Amino acid sequence: MACFHGNWEEFYGEVLLLDERKITLTAERGFKKSSKAAAILQQVFSHLSVVEVKFFGLRFCDKKQQTHWLDPSKTLSQHRDLIGPPYIFYFGVKFYAEDPSKLKEETTRCQFYLQVRQDFCRGRLLCPPHLKPRLFALMLQAERGDHSGAQTSDSEENQEVQNIYKSLSGVSCPQAQSLFLSLCSSLQMYGVSLFNAYGENQSEYFLGPTPVGVVIYKNKVLVGKYLWQLTSL
């Protein structure tokens, strides 16, 4: 994730959205360092018409290029690692749904698609080679619609993507997004953010919360998985 910082006198900030658009935050729009982070989140939710707000959040980078989630209950000035102005925030999925293809709200599902698409394209969501052509084809169907017949390919892999893309003719953009999400949510690293930890004999492990529990890796091999305890209300 690229981070930006500068030395501006007046309040200025930007929220970078998942579709690469951005929302500008200025003093003229009522924002200042004493503003609650919740006010910025509300501005974003309103702009995107997002109703199921519990899944999303805003991140920022500190001086060491580490990312942190904004705490909605705190003011910007209470986030000690926040640098700026300009203040740069990244909108994204904070809590991954177990099966995002079943989300009821189309706007929520669309934002999940953009997030998981980004995870896949940037290599955060690892995928077996045999599934990649189908995922790329579903992305084409979701974003371009039916195959036009004019596309050409210069490799066997691209040809496979184009063949699958053609076979998806008639699938609507929302349906293609749902199929993409359904396939991605079945992958082992879906929704996982890994954190390093040290065990016995100073062995390095990586722990990652997932939609269904916690996974533990050692030397890139899954060595443990603990499911969340479900309690009835």
pLDDT in tens, 54-75: 999 999 999 988 889 999 999 9
Question: At 161, is the pLDDT very low, low, confident or very high (cuts 50, 70, 90)?
Answer: very high
pLDDT digits (tens, 9 = 90+) for 26-54: 888 888 888 899 999 999 999 999 999 99
Exposure class string for 39-74: b at 16+ Cβ within 10 A, else e: ebbebbbeebebebeebbbbbbbeeeeeeeebeeee
Predicted pLDDT at 4: 47
Collapse the DSSP code of 178 into the 3-class scheme (helix H, G, I; strand E, B; otherwise coil) and give the result.
helix
pLDDT top residue among 65 and 137: 137
The overall average pLDDT reported for the chain is 84
Helix (H) or strand (E) holding 158: helix 156-167
Residues 6+ apart with CB under 8 A from 134: 164, 183
What are the pLDDT digits (tens) for 99-124?
Answer: 998 898 999 999 999 999 999 999 98
